[in-house]
Amino acid sequence: MCEDGHYLDPLDIARLNKRDGGNDIFPYDKWQLTMRSDDAEPQHFHIISEGWDAIFSVESGELIRVITEGDNREVLDYMIANAHQWLECENKFYAALSNREAAKLMWLQLHD
């Protein structure tokens, strides 16, 4: 229970990519980049698309593991090839931060 008397949901999910219609590496309408409050260290995020759910390190952008596999291996290959680059890009919510910096802050907020 929170200090204000409200109960917390057992799982909070934060979406890391923004719906902006731009030429993003992981467009909002095809890819879900998420963090979950019930995930354990190390700091990581999920990239989800076409049946794939893969976990990547916030620090390095490296693949940690695959949770679920989709049918098209090219989807996973694209995730692996672009996760590090996405982390280096300017964050669409907070322009002063990179996606990596914003993801680290989101992790701290979800796991406080």
What pTM was computed for the model? 0.85
pLDDT in tens, the chain (112 residues): 445 554 445 566 788 887 765 558 998 889 999 999 889 999 999 999 999 999 999 999 999 999 999 999 999 999 999 999 999 998 888 889 999 999 999 999 988 7
Are 33 and 47 in contact by the 8 Å Cβ rule? The answer is yes
Structure confidence at residue 93 (pLDDT) = 82
List, in order, residues 6 or more apart from 64 with CB less than 8 Å away: 42, 44, 55, 56, 57
Phi, psi of 80 (to 5 degrees): -60, -40
Q: Measure the CA–CA gap between 48 and 79, rounded to whole angstroms.
A: 9
Question: pLDDT at position 20, please?
Answer: 64
- Give the pLDDT of residue 1: 41
